[in-house]
Amino acid sequence: MSERLQPGDVAPAFTLPDADGNDVSLSDHKGRKVIVYFYPAALTPGCTKQACDFTDNLEVLASAGYDVIGISPDAPEKLAKFREKESLRVTLLADPDKKVTEAFGAYGEKKNYGKTYMGVIRSTVVVDEEGKVERALYNVRATGHVAKIIKDLDI
C-alpha cells in the first residue's frame, strides 16, 4: 500500500501523457494551485459523474486560481474518448503503470462486495503554488465531492 500524503509534503513531481498524447508535468502549473484527482476508470458511472462535476465547476475553480488534473490508469486513447463523449474540459492524464498514482498514495487495498483487491483509491490532492500538498483526501465519494472541495477551500 502506498504512503498517503500529508499537508506540507512536497507533491511528487510527474510528467504524464494527456488524452492527446502530449506530456503534461505538475511543474507546468508552478505558481498556480492544482487539484489533482485520481479515479479508477474512464467511462464508468462514478468516474463520469466526478469528471462532469469538475468540468461543470471548472470556471469557479479557475477563477479562484485552481487548475484541475484528473489521473487514471487508462490509455490516452480511452481518455480522448471519455473527453469527447462527456464534453470534459479538465486535463486528463494517463498513468498506465500507476507510478504517479502510487506516489500520491492513491493506490492500495480496496474492498468491494466483500472482496479485497488492489486498485486506484478515489483521491484528491490539492497542491499549492509552491508545489506543496495543501490537502490530501482519500476514499472520497464521486457524488458531491466537488461541491465539498469548493466549500472546504472557501471558494
Do the beta carbons of residue 137 and residue 151 sit within 8 Å? Answer: no
Rounded to whole angstroms, the Cα distance separating 74 from 60 reads 27
Active site residue 52: no
Rounded to whole angstroms, the Cα distance separating 72 from 90 reads 13
Phi, psi of 37 (to 5 degrees): -120, 145
Rounded to whole angstroms, the Cα distance separating 31 from 52 reads 26
- Which of 5, 34, 47, 121 does the annotation list as catalytic? 47
Rounded to whole angstroms, the Cα distance separating 113 from 13 reads 35
Rounded to whole angstroms, the Cα distance separating 132 from 13 reads 11
Active site members: 47
